[in-house]
Amino acid sequence: MAQLNLILIWLFLLSLCLYSCPTSAQLSRHHYAKTCPNVENIVREAVKKKFHQTFVTVPATIRLFFHDCFVQGCDASVLVASTKNNKAEKDHPDNVSLAGDGFDTVIKAKEAVDAVPLCRNKVSCADILALATRDVIELAGGPFYEVELGRFDGLRSKDSDVNGRLPHPEFNLNQLNSLFAANGLTQTEMIALSGAHTVGFSHCNKFTNRVYNFKSKSRVDPTLNEKYATQLKSMCPRNVDPRIAIDMDPSTPRSFDNVYFKNLQQGKGLFSSDQVLFTDSRSKATVNAFASSSKIFHANFAAAMTKLGRVGIKNAQNGNIRTDCSVI
């Protein structure tokens, strides 16, 4: 217990440091103070409307932001549509499962911003996606955090850029750490960001190898909770329709809380890459700390999201402000 308390204190101090660390010189919380002073309220209202239409807005928008930032940085390149001469990021096999509601959230918010004459074509799609992501997290009960603004939209979107840039469901801790480190993120930040799976969903084919084809006598991954494994089999029978998706958090799937980490303690991580955070001794203490304190998890998550939002940002020299988020 004393060790857990020390870890909690350390994580809280770490989150405060990260959240108040100097921003990139280009980014500022007041970037649009003169050009579009009401941008945050405009985006928030558009996101709220979309949220009330479907809860899928939440995981879809969060995932879109992650997939954008991990490939060529937070530059809205994932939003670009393919053309006859260019296959864009969104059509890479790792991105084809991105839910349409995430794209639609950004489109609706962009339309709302551009409907204000003062703001038209002044706010980047990359910034709109960053704001929308913060807003869906808060709407689902997660932390509110200030979003740094001033990103430009990227001038490139190629499916080949996605290769090896995104985490896979079977990754071990070393693979997760090296992928996040490539984006300047620590193991603690990686674990905090993994907590977004508390509102996620997954298609059956991403994890059924754990209940049908695992390399063990029973063919079931021994790190899986037995009752949970049985439940997964009933929800995802063999040869199930590939469009069937299930919640990643079987307990509170519509609440952005720390129950994801409590599930890991019980062997209820849907992906191997989730469960390994608890089974690997190097990351277990952080999982336990986040499971024991929603406040500590939220603080670390907000700090990690702020840091993620600084990855690979573009400026006026290597980016622009798109009039249509899907067209460079």
Contact 126, 151 (CB under 8 A): yes
**In the chain, which stretches have pLDDT less than 50?**
22
135 is in an annotated binding site: no
Spatial separation of the C-alpha atoms in residues 186 and 205, rounded to whole Å: 29
C-alpha–C-alpha distance, residues 61 and 126, integer Å: 12
CB atoms within 10 A of CB 112: 20
Say whether 73 counts as a known binding-site residue.
Answer: yes
One fold for both 38-166+310-320 and 173-308?
no
Please check if 274 is assigned to a binding site: no
Has 189 been labeled as part of a binding site? no
To the question of whether residue 280 is assigned a binding role by annotation, the answer is no
148 annotated to bind ligand: no
Q: What pTM was computed for the model?
A: 0.93
What are the backbone dihedrals phi and psi of residue 153, each rounded to the nearest 5 degrees, phi first?
-85, 140
91: three-class secondary structure by DSSP: helix
What are the residue boundaries of the structural domains of the chain, listed by start?
38-166+310-320, 173-308
Sequence-separated (6 or more) residues with CB below 8 Å from residue 49: 108
* 167 labelled binding-site residue: yes
Q: Which of 67, 92, 203, 298 is catalytic?
A: 67
Q: What letters, b where the CB count within 10 A reaches 16 and e where it falls short, cover 181-190?
A: eebebebbbb
**If one looks up domain 173-308 in CATH, what number appears?**
1.10.420.10
Number of Cβ within a 10 Å radius of residue 96 = 8
Q: Which CATH number fits domain 38-166+310-320: 1.10.520.10, 1.10.1200.10, 3.30.410.10, 1.10.580.10?
A: 1.10.520.10
168 is catalytic: no
pLDDT tens sequence across 191-243? 999 999 999 999 999 999 999 999 887 899 999 999 999 999 999 999 899 88
- pLDDT for 1 equals 65
Please give the structure tokens belonging to residue 79. 């939003």
The reply to whether 77 sits in an annotated binding site is yes
d(CA 104, CA 102) in angstroms, rounded, equals 5
At residue 32, the pLDDT reads 98
